[in-house]
Amino acid sequence: MGYYVFGVDGLDAYLSGVLRPNSLVVFSGYPGSGKTTLASTVCFSNALRGSRCLYLSFFEDRDKLFDNMFRLGLDLRKVESEGLLRFVKLPIIRSVSELSGLLSNLVSEFRPDLIVLDSVNALLSSIPDADRAVLHNTIYELPRLINGLVVVIAELYGGNDDLRSIYYVADVVLVLSYRSEGGLVSRVLEVKKVRGGAVTISELPFTILGNVGLKVLVPPILEDLGMEGRELDLVCSGLRKVLDHIHLGWSVYVSYSPYFRPISLPLLATGLHVGNGLRGLVISYIYSGEVVERNFLRALRHYGVRGDIARDVVRKHFIFKSFNPYSYSVGELALRELSLIERHKPDTVIFQGVEVLSGVYPDRDYLRQLYNQINYLKHKGLLVIRSGGYINPQIHKWNTSLADVHIGYRIRRNDDKVTPEALIWRRNTPTPHILNQEDIDNCCKEMASIIQSKYVNTDLKT
């Protein structure tokens, strides 16, 4: 058997190759932190790859564990029925010799490649102190006994002195925890020890989602971002004149006065998607998905697109979702968004109302999340469009500095007349350009005409 996997994309990418044969791995944390979920994920994922997993538990009920994991997308009953998983409920063990005999029999019968021991605390509390050194040695030798991987779950409560020796002999130690950030739950996976691995980030945000399981967010490495994606046509002549073109894998930041949300934005986004055959995921922090969809439809009808065509076009090219950022920590929100993106596999992601985030999270957390999110999605080859009101000069500067294109709507006052215009800048260009209200309207009308002509009398395919 070669290397084992965590079964969690972020961990497998960041800690690639650390789960080797003859390795002892410890998942530690307080009750409810996700240790059993991670251990079950390792067991299930490697069983799917043909490894035989022996799950030993002192307290877990088989049916309860299997039911809980099934809700997270882990069908333990399936791999059990295929002979790749064996669950054993262990009695209270009073001596090391009793443990050794039991393990020897189970290993001989099942011949596992991987063992999960849930949890070591039961042994530490039942075996006399005088035998602790022998117990530690027995656990340490267990990977060699099976020539495979052993995962030990360790509960953190009270004193941790009993676990120090286990940590010392382990090859990998991951500590799962949850803490309160402004009244919101934030889960963190701490990489305490990786023997033979290069670790540069010690804390990784994670979450546990229904039908998905455990998700870990690992910041992207800039060297891995690669080249930009395919060139996109800007569809209208006004935008082509000032921007020429943009690419998948770019980031666009659109700002506007908090007192003025341009109706042209949904139409411009729709024209871009229709003209390039794109499908976008729209995530709003200020409106429900239904309201955002209605705003898109209203914008298309405002510029002359027939109602039935507007509805079909919007539903063909966009998925609308929303999040209340006051309900999630910054890491939890990022992971839930990532899960949506992985599920729908869009070409673009449009974040609406990004100004709200600056009022929810501290500046340091906001900037770190903004940087990681943009670069992660660019690494995936997605076009990222972030739009929000100009309410915080520092947040505005951060968003602008990380963008490949900035479109800034602003209001011009001439006597008693108020007109909007757009200041547009593209990376590697010496000066920005300005589109006045007439330019913006002409661009929107041109896009609306293209949408109308393309889809009129056409049967749209989903």
pLDDT at position 182: 73
pLDDT at position 196: 79
Do 209 and 242 lie in one domain? The reply is: no
> Which of the 8 DSSP states describes residue 202?
-
Do 271 and 410 lie in one domain? The reply is: yes
Measured between alpha carbons, how far is residue 387 from residues 70, 170, 294, 396, 424 in Å?
Answer: 38, 47, 17, 11, 14
pLDDT at position 367: 85
> Which of the 8 DSSP states describes residue 223?
G
Confirm whether 158 is domain-assigned: yes
pLDDT at position 381: 92
Do 196 and 273 lie in one domain? The reply is: no
**Would you list the DSSP string of 320-383?**
EEE--GGGS-HHHHHHHHHHHHHHH--SEEEEE-GGGGGGTS-HHHHHHHHHHHHHHHHHTT-E
Q: Return the structure tokens found at 13.
A: 């990418």
Do 188 and 46 lie in one domain? The reply is: yes
Do 212 and 266 lie in one domain? The reply is: no
Listed residues 194, 216, 238: the one ending a domain: 216
Do 185 and 248 lie in one domain? The reply is: no
Contact 112, 52 (CB under 8 A): yes
User: At 462, is the pLDDT very low, low, confident or very high (cuts 50, 70, 90)?
Assistant: very low
Do 151 and 239 lie in one domain? The reply is: no
pTM: 0.87
Distance between CA atoms of 108 and 431, rounded to whole angstroms? Answer: 74
Average confidence (pLDDT) over 349-362: 89
Do 171 and 243 lie in one domain? The reply is: no
> Which of the 8 DSSP states describes residue 285?
S
Listed residues 198, 216, 234: the one ending a domain: 216
- CATH code for the domain of 327: 3.40.50.300
Between residues 241 and 129, which one has the greater pLDDT?
241
pLDDT in tens, 431-447: 899 999 999 999 999 99
pLDDT in tens, 51-96: 999 999 998 999 999 999 999 999 999 999 999 999 999 998 999 9
* Residue % of the chain over a pLDDT of 70: 96
Which residues, 6 or more positions from 26, have their beta carbon under 8 angstroms from its beta carbon? 151, 152, 153, 154, 163, 166, 167, 170, 172, 173, 174
Average confidence (pLDDT) over 99-104: 95
Q: In terms of Cα–Cα distance, which of 443, 373, 430 is closest to 403?
A: 373
User: At 458, is the pLDDT very low, low, confident or very high (cuts 50, 70, 90)?
Assistant: low
Measured between alpha carbons, how far is residue 261 from residues 234, 389, 429 in Å?
Answer: 21, 8, 27
How many beta carbons lie within 10 A of that of residue 133, not counting itself? Answer: 11
pLDDT at position 417: 81
Do 210 and 287 lie in one domain? The reply is: no
Average confidence (pLDDT) over 199-214: 91
Confirm whether 314 is domain-assigned: yes
Confirm whether 1 is domain-assigned: no
- The boundaries of the domain holding residue 161 are 9-216
Between residues 460 and 100, which one has the greater pLDDT?
100
User: At 218, is the pLDDT very low, low, confident or very high (cuts 50, 70, 90)?
Assistant: confident
pLDDT at position 223: 60
Average confidence (pLDDT) over 198-218: 90
Q: Which amino acid is at 438?
A: E
Domain count, the chain: 2
* Residue % of the chain over a pLDDT of 90: 71
Distance between CA atoms of 210 and 341, rounded to whole angstroms? Answer: 16
Listed residues 158, 192, 216: the one ending a domain: 216
Do 312 and 424 lie in one domain? The reply is: yes
Distance between CA atoms of 347 and 281, rounded to whole angstroms? Answer: 8
Per-range mean pLDDT, top range of 105-119, 209-223, 422-436:
105-119
pLDDT in tens, 157-188: 755 566 888 899 999 999 999 888 777 888 99
pLDDT at position 225: 61
